[in-house]
Amino acid sequence: MNLSCKGSVINQESAQFEIPKEETKDDTPREKVLIIGSGIMGINSAYFLAKDGRYDVTVIEKDNPIKGATEKNGNAITFGLCEPSTALPLWEVIKEKLTFHPNPSHYFRFSLIFDKQFRFWFWNYLKSRNKECIRKSHQALIKLGSTSADLFDGFIKDCTANNLDIVDYHNENMTFTFTGCSDHEIKEMEKHVEFLQEYEKGTQIIPPGKFDADFAYRVPMKCINSARFVDYMKLRLSDKYGVTFIQGEIKAITCTEAHVKAVEYADRMARVKKIDDFDKCIVCAGIGSIEIGKMLGLKVPIMGFKGHSFDMYVKDRDVIEESYIHMPEKICISRVGYNTNGLVRISGYVDLDGNNLEPIPWRKDMLIQLAKKYVSEKDYDESKAGHWVGLRPVTADDVPLIGKSCRFNNLFWNTGHGARGVTQSVSSASLLYSVISGEDLHERLTATDYDPGRFNI
């Protein structure tokens, strides 16, 4: 299947990308690949490799069904440009804290300065803050997102045999609303919309009165139920391509100076087992990549940016018809899937609170108030509502780690995508496939932009 690139984001001629054909290319024995992590990044990586025909793929994951961001994200595939996750406005955070802001959009726990992982991450963050590093990071993110934009439709059609409803893949609109804006800020946002229109022609300014806002614009986008997609793909990969899935929690990794040899894990019955018959190992573990790195003797420059989501069920007449991002709260309100049965998700916030999943009680209270305000107060039912906390795995320069390790000759990384995991999952998996297989799939991407070696891992 040919997937044509529009080439709209960078000034390069259009290229034709190919999804691997379903056949073994020669009689060479298949290489055995172990993938750690079965979120959307691990699943898509498994798909590209397994479909090629030269690889026997095994995926290990401690949770079944999958949990984490793949289960609880906002379902939106946002190809448009957005501010870097690492651009946490520390002065704004301090101001909000000192003035007791009732609804702070960011939170920073100052005791993190005593946390070793945070200090390591922050040191690398500071080294990547010069103008040239920021320019390169932004270009790398733009190219990765735009490549996914070109590939996503064809990829989902190929995965589902053109039955998109299986994974709730559909077109939708994302409406951004802004309140408390000065005239100058509105002028700046109008310029921003003009900039976005270069990448997505359907972007338009809309009347803000309906939303009790000062300014609003709408962007066409895609939505997918990523949890349903992963569950579906596990069955498809297993049945059609012979991918093996193992449920187990990794306890130890054995390696020599330059080679990963074995992975020990505890299965569902807490029995310790070992996998040692693999040629290549790929880490797609999100925030868990930090612990995997420690087992390998590596420091992985990833920090978890805590996000929150809140699910509520509303009556059919109150189900929203499109997704919204309300500013300055930076809250996304979206349907969960195409046929929602009244399920609406309110998600957002960027909190640096440590690499833990401990809830922040006042964040839940804030989400409840926003759910009542923007969705439906009369339909709110505490017994049916669910609060979730997750960690966005953000690298020190905000660019994901994709490619071969510079420390081990059979180790590869595909992790650290922050809040863009679903959006960038197809281009990231395809890029990793090209690095492993030697197939030249990406004329617009440069592997060195995402090389884990920049952090010596």
pLDDT digits (tens, 9 = 90+) for 247-265: 999 999 999 999 999 999 9
DSSP 412-452: EEEE-BGGGHHHHHHHHHHHHHHHHH-----SS--GGGG-G
pLDDT value for 384: 76
Cβ atoms within 10 Å, residue 147 = 30
Of 339, 347, 447, the closest CA to residue 402 belongs to 447
Can you tell me the distance from the alpha carbon of 191 to that of 148, in angstroms, rounded to the nearest whole number?
A: 25
Of 155, 315, 316, the closest CA to residue 222 belongs to 155
Q: What is the pLDDT of residues 353-365, one digit of tens each?
A: 999 999 888 888 8
pLDDT value for 12: 32
Phi, psi of 210 (to 5 degrees): -60, -25
The vertex-232 CA angle with 231 and 238, nearest 5°, equals 95
Spatial neighbors of 268 by CB under 8 A, at least 6 apart, are 247, 248
pLDDT value for 23: 59
pLDDT value for 413: 99
Note the pTM of the prediction, 2 decimals.
0.89
Q: Is the torsion defined by CA of 25, 27, 28, 33 positive or negative?
A: positive
Rounded-to-10 torsion of CA 279, 402, 18, 441: -100
pLDDT value for 289: 98
pLDDT value for 37: 95
pLDDT value for 4: 30
According to DSSP, residue 375 is labeled I
Please list the ranges in the chain whose pLDDT falls under 70: 1-27, 65-91, 316-320, 336-341, 441
Asked whether 375 and 332 are in contact (CB, 8 A), the reply is: no
Of 149, 103, 124, 182, the closest CA to residue 10 belongs to 149
Give the gyration radius of the chain's Cα atoms: 22
Asked whether 51 and 20 are in contact (CB, 8 A), the reply is: yes
Secondary structure of residue 408 in the 3-state scheme: coil
Tokens of 50: 């397994």
Report all structural domains of the chain as residue ranges with CATH numbers, in order of start: 28-169+224-455 (3.50.50.60)
The vertex-456 CA angle with 450 and 457, nearest 5°, equals 75
Tokens of 187: 């002028």
The vertex-138 CA angle with 136 and 142, nearest 5°, equals 115
Phi, psi of 337 (to 5 degrees): 85, 180
Tell me, rounded to whole angstroms, the distance of Cα 340 from its chain centroid.
22
